A and B are shown apart, each in its own frame.
Chain A
Amino acid sequence: MTGMDEPLEREVAEPRAGAVANSERIAVAVGLKMLGAGAVLILLGLVLALSFLSPYFLSSRNLGNILAQTAVICVVAMGQHLVILTKGIDLSVGSNLALASVLGALSFHAGASTLTVIAVMVAAGAAVGAINGLFYVYGRLPHPFIITLATLSIAKGVALQLADGRAIPGMPPAIRSLGQEAFAGLPGSVFVVAGVAGLMFVVTQSTVWGRWMYAVGGRADAAVRMGIPVSAVLVSTYVISGTCAGVGAVLLAGRTDAGSPLFGNLLELDTIAAVIIGGASFLGGRGHIGHALIGAIMIGVIRNALNLLNVGVFYQLIVIGVVIVVAVEADVLRNHLESRMRVLRAETGP
């Protein structure tokens, strides 16, 4: 009898230990899935709560407002996303946008055509982005923080100097209507956002270049050894980020019918926050365009909600700051869960 009991017990005991590990594995997997979908869930919850709290929130006029106000953050955040994807940061986007808008306004007053004005703004943004990227990579700077902080200051200074410290009113009618009018019930800027998003999605998800961005963001030294042109990939992300700032300048100049050195104040914060809140990893290599868009819209919704609920403007900064901390902690938690998952898989087998 006793001789029979022992092996039986062991047979029962082993699957039980496996079951404990398995249930933890399932819990970790569910946690990871929730974190993956977290931003979308929070945004939906936010929208649901607000639709009860304020009768105006879901009105088409208010939703249109949110979209129009968020369009600039959306476009610039998508560029910022690519920089963050490759473990970088672009602090210069706000100043870059201001400089681009001033150059656009000046060229308009100098008699340039609509298309030229747009081209000037977009090219100015791209040029500042190129300076960022080239100095970071070929100037062998330790971190993009430094060069983009420098161009934040320089671009702002140049813009203030050129515009004599004031806004320069006047934009071509086409740019104005793009920023102010609705087409098919949607603000014109929404179409620009959709166009940029579509293009970026295809580039990052379907082209070799996009795959290289993810590889560089995942591990730059490995990318070098795999023969990926890391320097060119890095520079390109800053050029794209700058170009997005230029497109943002077109939208903002259209909406306000002016170019101004004061545009884009704290835009670097908004866009970085959007990318992180949306669920892309600050540690690089993770996330997609959708994350930047969801994060930007969430910032727009939070601002709008605080306005509708008559919460002071100063609180908005505080709330957004808190949301950033929560989002970054979620990123840290995700990394922790992933390493736990690796351990569990090694213990219990595939």
Chain B
Amino acid sequence: MTQHPPEAHPQRPVLCVRGACKRFGSVVALDDVSIEVNRGEILALLGDNGAGKSTLIKCISGVHRLDAGDVVIDGAANVLRSPADARSAGIETVYQDLALFDNLTPAQNFFAGREIAGPRWLPRAMRFLNKREMDEQTRALIRSLNVSLPHLDGVVALMSGGQRQAIAVARSAVFARKVVILDEPTAALGLRESRRVLDLIGVLRDRGNAIILITHNMEHVTELADRAAVLRQGRKVGELVPTRDNKQQLVSMIVGA
């Protein structure tokens, strides 16, 4: 199998997973997987169902803990015990199920778990919400990302699939400082809505984030991704720079043919 090794980047990768192993009972979900991403780069994470993509990103976003291996962020090995740990390390995740609160407004969703509140001398949970500031920042963000959300004070339950996806992606933009992980962000969307979300991913990259993108859409991979890593049965089977010409090669790596 011919592989194009990724070009050596002069900069240090912002996220580096080394020798990741994870098993659930007797099932080996990840077997010695290593990936790395640089700032301003989009890494597509490919693989068939059950290949270990979701397990890998759950380990990076703190939902699962690795049995062996390291998650190295900006050169320092981190132990991510919880999603809160990952978020405070600068890693934001857009989950496949969006993890939105239907009963809250977009602004309340953006700042869930990260509320702007004061005064500082109170314990965090007892602080008073600074609603105006959160609304203000939400409006500014929506404007800068060029997302069209007509009902900023309505609850998310009343919004369309594309709008909800945009809210989930935009939420990651509020706090992402280093890495944004997106798990099949366009899977449930129509053409026009997919386009908007892809543009949004481009904006997140241009802001200097490293992006890990899980998708089954090869068009999106060749269009957006700087590199593609392929997992199969918990192992990394290859990595290459996706182009129009090697799409077939990627697909055969994914299915193992």
Chain A residues proximal to chain B, CB less than 8 Å: 206-209, 211-212, 214-215, 217-219, 221-229, 284-286, 338, 341-342, 345-346, 350
Contact = CB atoms under 8 A, between A and B. Distances in A.
A215 B112 CA distance: 7
B157 interface: yes
Contacts of B161: 346
Contacts of A341: 158
| Most A C-beta atoms less than 10 A away, residue of B84, B112, B126 | B112
A331 to B, nearest CB: 13
A230 to B, nearest CB: 10
B3 interface: no
Of residues A208, A224, A338, A346, which shows the largest number of chain B Cβ atoms within 10 Å of its Cβ?
A: A208
Nearest to B161: A346
Interface stretch (B35-43, B48-56, B94-102, B223-231): B94-102
B129 A211 contact: yes
Most buried by A among B95, B99, B100: B99
Interface string B104-121: 100010001111010000
A350 B113 contact: no
A225 B100 CA distance: 10
Contacts of B101: 214-215, 218-219, 222-223, 285
Interface in B109-168: 112-115, 117, 124-129, 148-151, 157-162
Given A214-B101, A222-B95, 6 more contacts: A208-B115, A219-B99, A226-B113, A284-B103, A342-B158, A350-B150
B63 interface: yes
25 contacts: A207-B117, A207-B128, A207-B129, A208-B126, A208-B129, A211-B112, A212-B125, A215-B108, A218-B104, A221-B99, A223-B113, A224-B83, A226-B114, A227-B84, A227-B88, A228-B113, A285-B101, A285-B102, A338-B157, A342-B158, A342-B159, A345-B159, A346-B160, A346-B162, A350-B150
B82 interface: yes
A258 B84 CA distance: 50
A345 B113 contact: no
Mostly helix, strand, loop or mixed at chain A's interface?
A: helix
B22 interface: no
Given A208-B125, A342-B160, A214 B103 contact: yes
B109 to A, nearest CB: 9
B100 A222 contact: yes
Contacts of B151: 350
- Give 9 nearest A-B pairs by CB, closest first: A227-B84, A226-B113, A350-B150, A285-B103, A218-B101, A222-B99, A346-B160, A218-B103, A227-B113
Contacts of B115: 208, 211
Nearest to A206: B128
B87 A227 contact: yes
B150 A342 contact: no
Contacts of B93: 225
Given A225-B95, A226-B112, A209 B126 contact: yes
A132 to B, nearest CB: 20
A346 B159 CA distance: 8
Nearest to A212: B125
Given A208-B125, A225-B63, A341-B158, A219 B83 contact: no
Nearest to A228: B113
